[in-house]
Amino acid sequence: MIQRLTIAALMLAIVALLRTAPAQAEPYLAVMTGYKCNVCHVNPTGGGLRNEFGVTYAKLLLPAETVDNTLDAWTGKVTDRLRVGGDLRADWTRVTTPNSPSQQSFQLEQLRVYADLTIIPDRLGLYVDEQIAPDGSINEEAYVRYGNTQDGFYIKGGQFYLPFGWRLQDQTAFVRQVTGINMTTPDKGVELGYEHAAWSAQFDVTNGAANATTGQGYQVTTQVVYTKPIWRVGIAGSSTQSDLGDRRVGGLFAGLRTGPIAWLAEADLVRDESLPGGRTLTAGLLEGDWRLRKGHNLKLTAEYEDPDRSVSNDQQTRYSIVYEYTPLPFLQLRAGYRHYFGIPQNNTQNQQVILMELHGYF
């Protein structure tokens, strides 16, 4: 086993050296390893299709047990120019709301496929992220990318996720809901990005969700991240001009590794003039991921939201404990419990959720 791990570590080191810059998967893994997003993902801002290093990491270092099979040669490449991948998440959830009967159900949360076609190596490529179930095909990302996403400037145009804060797996996190920038809200526009050494920066001009039907106004989003081996810090901002009312969002986020624990923190401030009278909202997240042993991760999360700074006694919190077990390459089991705390007169703000998830990916 030790020999196998040594070989795996060597392979990763070689792959990492061959690439001028590495990528990330779940953000806690990035903090744990000290990698930037583009070390494990084709998309320089993270998420979606894994690159060769990401696939190798998922095969060899993430799971509790590596297995010898035909997938040993799999790196996501179909041809020299075409790379594919996918994620399937199937859930069972039980939601208990005060004064209401519990609701439980199995759900296919998502089946997504990714593809990246390299037209000119290290310069020009096409990327597609398509959710094909449930509810039929929905395009999440589709863009053309020009430039070097590993070291230097790049530009991409089309539909893509906006860079803002931690790109968490849980899209219902308060920081992702309050900012409105998450992996359910891709937008159309262009992104200018820069990757060099410890620096990563993006500048986006997009339609803005509020302007999807009016055709007026834009959303401008920018993010800068500085990454060191055991810590990182980032700042992000977004401004949307809309007939419905302007919306400005600012956020600070940071990561720190202390021994076996990766810490993630984010604080966001939103000023939304589209809400009646205009409102200022805040949201915060603190997450600790404890890598108990290889393939086992305990995720503890505390979240805070103030839906209107001018109103007292309306704050909400949410606490989660999720155990993530990755027994084999490309298979993850997750089980967890979330408890929402809100004002006592609102039942849905005091829900409890038990979840189990089967996550397959390649």
Give residues in contact with another protein (CB under 8 A).
Answer: 93, 95, 97-100, 103, 105, 107, 135, 138, 171-172, 176-177, 180-182, 184-185, 209-210, 212-213, 244, 247, 256, 258-261, 263, 272, 274-276, 284, 286, 288, 302, 304, 307-308, 311-317, 319, 341-349, 351
Phi, then psi, of 317 in degrees rounded to 5: -130, 160
HSE, CB side, 13 Å, CA atoms: give it for residue 35. Answer: 29
Give the contacts of 18 (CB within 8 A, at least 6 positions apart): none
What whole-number distance in Å separates Cα of residue 288 and Cα of residue 252? 17
Residue 40 or 355: which CB sits closer to another protein?
Answer: 355
Residue 150 or 221: which CB sits closer to another protein?
Answer: 221
Query: How far is CA 291 from its chain centroid?
Result: 19
Asked if omega into 327 is within 30° of 0 (cis), the reply is: no
CB of 323 to another protein, least distance (A): 16
CB of 258 to another protein, least distance (A): 4
Residue 45 structure tokens: 């801002």
CB of 255 to another protein, least distance (A): 12
On whether the CB atoms of residues 93 and 355 are closer than 8 A, the answer is yes
CB of 5 to another protein, least distance (A): 20
HSE, CB side, 13 Å, CA atoms: give it for residue 359. Answer: 17
Residue 76 or 307: which CB sits closer to another protein?
Answer: 307
Residue 217 or 288: which CB sits closer to another protein?
Answer: 288
Residue 76 or 208: which CB sits closer to another protein?
Answer: 208
CB of 29 to another protein, least distance (A): 17
What whole-number distance in Å separates Cα of residue 93 and Cα of residue 337? 10
Q: In sequence order, which ranges of the chain are alpha helices (DSSP H)?
A: 2-18, 27-33, 52-60, 174-179
CB of 299 to another protein, least distance (A): 13
CB of 97 to another protein, least distance (A): 7
Phi, then psi, of 276 in degrees rounded to 5: -55, 125
Length of the chain: 362
What whole-number distance in Å separates Cα of residue 180 and Cα of residue 4? 44
Residue 85 or 307: which CB sits closer to another protein?
Answer: 307
Burial class (CB in 10 A: 0-12, 13-18, 19+), 236: buried
Residue 69 or 258: which CB sits closer to another protein?
Answer: 258
